[in-house]
Chains A and B, each alone.
Chain A
Amino acid sequence: MEEKLEPNEMIVHLGPQHPMQPGPFRLNLRLKGETVVDADIELGFIHKGIEKILENKTYLQGITIVDRICYLVALVNEECFVGCTEKLLGIEPPERAQYIRVILEELTRIQSHLLGMGEFGEFIGFVSMFMYTIREREEVLSLIDMVTGARITHSYLKVGGVRDDLPDGFKEKALSVLNNLKKSVDDFEEMFHTDRIFRERTVGVGVLTADAAKNLGVSGPVLRATGVPFDIRKNEPYLVYKDLDFKVCTETAGDCFARVQVRINEIRESIYILEQCLDQIPGGPLFPEGTLYGRRTPVMRVPAGEVFHRVEDPRGEMGMYMISDGSDKPYRVKIRGPYYPTLQALPPLIIGTTVADVASISGSMDGCTSEADR
């Protein structure tokens, strides 16, 4: 950003600590009156060098590290890392393990969307929304806690399967939580739709068209709100998603309101997927039979090769590129997080809007800076 300012211009730095932000990054705004004429993002305040650390850890230790890429969706990160390793090894988890993974990943999606919606409400002055969504999120987290033993970082997935079976009484508890959640989601939708201030701050704000969104390279709810049905679960099915019935939620408006609407609909779809999974889940082992893989997998050497594996994160397309050189540690892991391109698309979106809309647009992206920084 040029330092030379015109008479009625000023530069405002938002961050690194700012209530609008999901984590530390710095947003430099150049304002002309109330209008944003230029914007620039500085990243790296919580860059921790995960890619370098992963090169120096064995595959089993790496699962613990990838949890911390994005702490809101730890299980999806694990799925991506473990999926890469399984593809290199040429094994596939048994069906029960796949169902358990789907159950936990959809629960993760629900809690991430709930937090995202609540945070968005808080950013634009709708704090009671935050309290309501957090209350429901705690119920969902207690379900995940019941299976994995941790609230947000789990280390639950293992190469070839999952660490533990579902506990007794999980299905009954899950169904009762999901039934309550259905009612709450209807309430949230009604609150979002009827609140006049919320509508005025979101409808028609931060509009992204389908072509522009494709050019900016975004994915996930931000893209689906523009009408593009791009979902890795449908385009490139992994686990048992091809056997499950669900639809890709899209909206056409492309503004902040549509993004929240997509998230609400996705929570409903996730509940539907969970109900199917709980019904259909077969019995059987948790690790492929006749192989060495199990809860206590010894140090394993992964055959040389490379793979690019994609999964659907609550924020969009998550991919990992893993190269193995035949030793017990990966040679190189590249993490392609979904929020990275979305955050990159923030400056073009906010240029030309007013300062008040910056919080609204940035919040509707549902961010996680930790994953952009890695």
Chain B
Amino acid sequence: MGEVKEKKASKPDETSEEGIPGVITTTTSAISDLLKKTKVQDLINWGRKNSLWFMTQPMGCCGVEMIAMGCAHYDTDRFGIIPRNSPRQADVMLISGYVTKKYLPSLKRLWEQMPSPKWVMCIGDCSISGGPFYESYSTVQNIDEIFPIDVFVPGCPPRPEAMLQGFVELQEKIKAKKDLGSEY
């Protein structure tokens, strides 16, 4: 009798450890690791690369061109690239200008607020190498050591066509699974 009681008492503990029968719960990322090696990841990436929503965050001259790129004339909607105002809804952060010492903490926080998978692009000379303000007392250099940057678009400022080309390059990178935004 005593043994049976013990068995009954211990049964709920077993289910909480091993999960509901028929459902496998694991704490490892084995399945997603497995998926990354199969064609399913290609399908996921196809979806990701065709909906690159970027965050509008004008920081300099390139910010104006970024706005122009997202609007009627250049019409990035046809590539699935849509401007969003909130970091929570965005996939791509464009560093569109000089990063100052005062702005860097806010920029890091914006980057943390974005949900994964996420990518970051450098637009313009200022964010790549300092541009015309490389010697200023207020700007931060070497942005690529701080953020995992996938695409650099040079120009001061780059034309909207160049930015579009940058987005196309990012799409190619995602398709080839060589982007820094997700782990393969």
Contacts and interface: CB of A to CB of B under 8 A. Distances in A.
Indicate whether A and B interact.
Answer: yes
A46 B157 CA distance: 16
Contact of B136 (A24, A44, A52): A52
Contacts of A134: 67-68, 71-73
Contacts of A18: 85
B176 to A, nearest CB: 31
B61 interface: yes
A44 B102 contact: yes
Specify the main secondary structure of chain B where it touches its partner: loop
Contacts of B102: 44-45, 47
A310 to B, nearest CB: 24
A65 interface: yes
Contacts of B57: 17, 24
A40 B72 CA distance: 35
B85 A19 contact: yes
Interface in A140-154: 141, 151-153
Contacts of B65: 151-152
B75 to A, nearest CB: 10
A71 interface: yes
A71 B64 contact: yes
A131 B68 CA distance: 10
B100 A47 contact: yes
A152 B73 contact: no
A58 interface: no
B135 A56 contact: yes
B98 A24 contact: no
A65 B133 CA distance: 9
Given A46-B98, A134-B72, A53 B106 contact: no
A24 B64 CA distance: 13
B97 interface: yes
What interface size band does chain A fall in?
35 or more
Contacts of A141: 68
Contacts, number: 95
A65 B156 CA distance: 11
Interface in B51-91: 55-61, 63-65, 67-68, 71-73, 85, 87
Interface in A14-29: 16-19, 22-24
A135 B59 contact: no
Interface string B109-139: 0100000000000000000000011011111
A64 interface: yes
Nearest to B103: A45
A168 to B, nearest CB: 23
A138 interface: yes
B64 A46 contact: no
Nearest to A153: B61
A48 B132 CA distance: 10
B173 interface: no
A130 interface: yes
Contacts of B139: 48-49
Contacts of B132: 53, 64-65, 68
Contact of A152 (B58, B135, B157): B157
Interface string A173-191: 0000000000000000000
B159 interface: yes
Interface string A108-140: 000000010000000000000011101101100
Interface string A37-60: 000000011111110110010000
Contacts of B157: 71, 151-153
A261 interface: no
A157 interface: no
A151 B159 contact: yes
B61 A152 contact: yes
Contact of A24 (B61, B71, B106, B156): B106
B73 A48 contact: no
A49 B64 CA distance: 20
Contact of A138 (B59, B61, B73, B85): B73
Given A23-B63, A24-B59, A49 B137 contact: yes
A365 interface: no
Contacts of A24: 57-59, 103, 106
**Residue of A44, A45, A46, A151 with highest tally of chain B CB at under 10 A:** A46
Given A131-B72, A152-B61, A152-B157, A17 B100 contact: no
Contacts of B156: 153
B64 A72 contact: yes
21 contacts: A16-B106, A22-B58, A24-B106, A45-B102, A46-B59, A46-B97, A48-B98, A48-B100, A49-B133, A49-B137, A49-B138, A53-B135, A64-B132, A65-B132, A71-B63, A130-B71, A132-B72, A134-B67, A135-B72, A151-B159, A370-B60
Given A64-B132, A115-B64, 16 more contacts: A16-B106, A17-B55, A23-B63, A24-B58, A24-B103, A45-B103, A46-B98, A47-B102, A56-B135, A68-B60, A71-B64, A134-B72, A134-B73, A152-B64, A153-B157, A370-B60
Interface of B: 55-61, 63-65, 67-68, 71-73, 85, 87, 97-98, 100, 102-103, 106, 110, 132-133, 135-139, 156-157, 159
